[in-house]
Amino acid sequence: MHKFKYLFSRVKLFLINVKDYLYSFSEPSDVKVTIEPFDPRLKAIGEEWLRKINLEIPGLKIFFVGSVALGVPGQRDIDFIAECNQADLQKYANQLKKIFGIPRNETPQFVEWNSERKDYKIEFFLSIPQSRIYKGYKDIFFALDSNKKFLDEYNDLKLSVDGMSLRNYERARKKFFNKVINEVYN
């Protein structure tokens, strides 16, 4: 019976969002996630980064998102998403390369950076607004930011995944995000 329940949970998760489920296999199963309590100093650092980037790159529409911006436990990563039209993507990417260095991933629709600092990370995602990934990040953030019930559930989820494998952490997060999106948009 236990094997059946396990298999059913995987099939159920697979049916929720096929791409996210398959992508989760790219995450290592032997790397453990460390979740730390919310640190208000990181939020101040994130706000300072936002001011700095806005001064250096005026006109770029940037959102401070993620656990730090929401004030919940996390992995000490400061997240930003930014949008621009397709014609300006390369221009803004070149300007951001001067700040964050070589991108982790660069496609025709988006460019993303993971930048290590002394005791935190910065993740910056530049995208055209039509990108499915960008829309997902933005929709999730604003759904959590505007709904205390969802935010409390996310806080509880974050506390429950400390020590979990990165793969299972990503699956748990994506399952929760899918639930939020389904409740908000259905």
Q: What is the 3-state secondary structure (H, E, C) of 79-106?
A: EEEEECCHHHHHHHHHHHHHHHCCCCEE
Name the percent of the chain lying above pLDDT 70: 84
Q: What share of the chain is helix, strand, coil (3-state, %, to 5)?
A: 55, 15, 25
Looking at per-residue pLDDT, the higher value among 17 and 91 belongs to: 91
Neighbouring-strand partners of residue 111 = 106, 126
Distance in angstroms (rounded) separating the CA atoms of residues 72 and 156: 9
Give me the numbers of helices (H) and strands (E) for the chain, helices first please.
8, 5
**Dihedral, CA atoms, 105, 107, 109, 113, nearest 10 degrees?**
20
Three-state secondary structure call for residue 49:
helix
Instruction: Give the mean pLDDT of 133-149.
Output: 95
Cα 158 to its chain centre, rounded Å, is 13
Q: Where are the domains of the chain?
A: 36-179
Q: Tell me the pLDDT tens digit for each residue of 1-55.
A: 545 444 443 444 433 455 555 454 556 677 899 999 999 999 999 999 999 999 9
Tokens coding 53: 């980037």
Instruction: Give the mean pLDDT of 178-182.
Output: 93
Q: Where are the beta strands (DSSP E) in the chain?
A: 61-65, 77-83, 105-106, 110-116, 121-127
Q: What is the pLDDT of residue 121?
A: 96
Instruction: Give the mean pLDDT of 99-107.
Output: 96
Q: Tell me the pLDDT tens digit for each residue of 120-132.
A: 999 999 999 999 9
* DSSP at 31: P
Three-state secondary structure call for residue 32:
strand
For residue 112, pLDDT over 60 is answered with yes
- How many residues make up the chain in this entry? 186
Q: How is domain 36-179 classified at the CATH fold level? A: Beta Polymerase; domain 2 (3.30.460)
